[in-house]
């Protein structure tokens, strides 16, 4: 992998922002930036928080004043997949990772959202890693391989999604790895890695670390974040846009049932059909269920709990309307 090089100079590295635009502005105001100070963002500018669009506007505006090196996060990758091909799977992976909040921030009116060309160009320009002589910057982490053996396509999912195996690794890459993606209460400085994701969108802090001094700057979340979703037009009785299409769902409660598939879905519920025995009623009204959306996905497994609130029969096929107990989102 040909990792772009940042000149070895004063650098501020900023953690996952997730739509927290007010906090990003407050943090930038707190940093002693000079015209030649570099700023690295570890990715995840969007999703979950209320102001994804304004976050990207802020990053683009900052880049007019100082050198900015923005990394791609897993959330930007999901958005790009959704924009390139809004298939049921890509849509669901994006929505259940908080993408409804991002789409809502780009809505001029219900049902109509538009991304400025400058924002699309920004997303397409994002790199998977940057490096200096002393540090390598990446969103999630690295595989246990020398840097010259890491390949962009082969290891893309690892760079964007890895957690535990990287955190527990004793491998040494010859440089300190600076990353985000896995939230911690305070900036975490380990012998071989630094984690700057302090979970602002989860009512904690937005943080930056200065290199090489390793001084930490943080601002607190300003008010609790409510779940934001892409709204239906005002005349609709639904609270969120419903997407059509098939996504795998596996139930852990009750046990022993076959895999289901969605007919449609949104943040608040699913319309399910049994894949193997669609002509046999296997769920009952009022039954509480729990399980996973995308059960076979290595990184995007979304747990949910819900209640069967509707059973309908189309010919010989049983369909089950499930209402979540809380909006379903992928665990951080």
pLDDT band at 223 (very low <50, low <70, confident <90, very high): confident
Considering only residues 37 and 328, tell me which one the structure prediction assigns the higher pLDDT: 37
Closest CA to 104 of 45, 166, 53: 53
> How many independent structural domains does the chain possess?
2
Which is nearest to 18 in space by CA: 267, 197, 222, 219? 197
Report the CATH number that the domain containing residue 174 is assigned in CATH.
3.60.21.10
Domain closes at, from 189, 220, 251: 220
Q: What is the pTM assigned to this prediction?
A: 0.93
Q: In what order do the strands lie in the sheet with 129-131?
A: 129-131, 135-138, 176-179, 193-195, 188-189
Q: What is the pLDDT of residues 131-145, one digit of tens each?
A: 999 999 999 999 999
pLDDT digits (tens, 9 = 90+) for 262-281: 999 998 999 999 999 999 99
**pLDDT of residue 313 exceeding 90:** yes
Residue 329 has pLDDT above 90, yes or no: no
Q: What is the CATH number of the domain that holds 289?
A: 2.40.10.220
Is 263 within the bounds of a domain? yes
The verdict on 29 and 147 lying in the same domain is yes
**Does residue 113 sit in the same domain as residue 164?**
yes
Q: How confident is the model at residue 227 (pLDDT cuts 50, 70, 90)?
A: confident
306: which residues sit within 8 A by CB, 6+ positions away? 269, 270, 288, 289, 290, 322, 323, 324, 325
pLDDT of 328 = 83
Q: At what angle do helices 52-62 and 21-30 cross, to 10 degrees?
A: 30
260 three-state secondary structure: strand
> What is the arithmetic mean of pLDDT over 12-18?
98
Within this chain, do residues 81 and 201 fall inside the same structural domain, yes or no? yes
pLDDT digits (tens, 9 = 90+) for 21-68: 999 999 999 999 999 999 999 999 999 999 999 999 999 999 999 999
Same domain membership, residue 202 and residue 168: yes
**DSSP code of residue 247:** -
What residue numbers bound the domain in which 164 lies?
Answer: 11-220
Whether residues 99 and 247 fall in one domain:
no
Residues 192 and 260 in one domain: no
Measured distance CA(181)–CA(198) in Å, rounded: 9
Residues 203, 102 share a domain: yes
Res 2 pLDDT > 90 = no
Same domain, 70 and 157: yes
What percentage of the chain carries pLDDT values higher than 70?
Answer: 97
């Amino acid at each position: 992998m040909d990792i772009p090089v940042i000149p070895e100079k004063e650098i501020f590295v900023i953690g996952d922002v997730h739509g927290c635009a007010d906090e990003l502005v407050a943090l930038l105001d707190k940093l002693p930036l000079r015209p030649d100070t570099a700023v690295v963002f570890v990715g995840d500018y969007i999703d979950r928080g209320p102001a994804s669009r304004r976050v990207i506007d802020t990053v683009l505006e900052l880049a007019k004043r100082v050198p900015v090196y923005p990394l791609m996060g897993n959330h930007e990758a999901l958005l790009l997949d959704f924009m390139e091909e809004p298939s049921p799977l890509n849509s669901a992976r994006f929505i259940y990772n908080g993408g409804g909040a991002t789409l809502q921030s780009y809505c001029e009116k219900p049902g109509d959202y538009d991304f400025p060309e400058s924002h699309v160009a920004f997303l397409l320009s994002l790199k998977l890693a940057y490096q200096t002589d002393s540090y390598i910057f990446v969103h999630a982490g690295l595989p246990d391989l020398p840097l010259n053996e890491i390949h962009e396509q082969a290891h893309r999912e690892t760079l964007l999604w890895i957690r535990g195996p990287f955190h527990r690794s004793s491998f040494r890459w010859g440089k300190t790895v600076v990353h985000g993606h896995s939230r911690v209460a305070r900036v975490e400085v380990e012998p071989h890695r630094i984690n700057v994701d302090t979970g602002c969108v989860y009512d904690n802090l937005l943080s930056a670390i200065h290199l090489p001094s390793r001084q930490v700057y943080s601002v607190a979340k300003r008010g609790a974040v409510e779940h934001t979703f892409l709204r239906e037009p005002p005349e609709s009785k639904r609270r969120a846009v419903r997407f059509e299409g098939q996504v795998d769902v596996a139930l852990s409660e009750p046990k022993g049932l076959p895999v289901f598939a969605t007919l449609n879905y949104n943040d608040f519920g699913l319309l399910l059909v049994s894949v193997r025995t669609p002509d046999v009623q296997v769920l009952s009204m009022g039954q509480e269920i729990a399980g996973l959306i995308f059960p076979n996905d290595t990184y995007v497994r979304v747990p949910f709990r819900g209640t069967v609130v509707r059973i309908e029969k189309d010919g010989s096929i049983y369909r089950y309307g499930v209402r979540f107990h809380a909006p379903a989102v992928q665990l951080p």
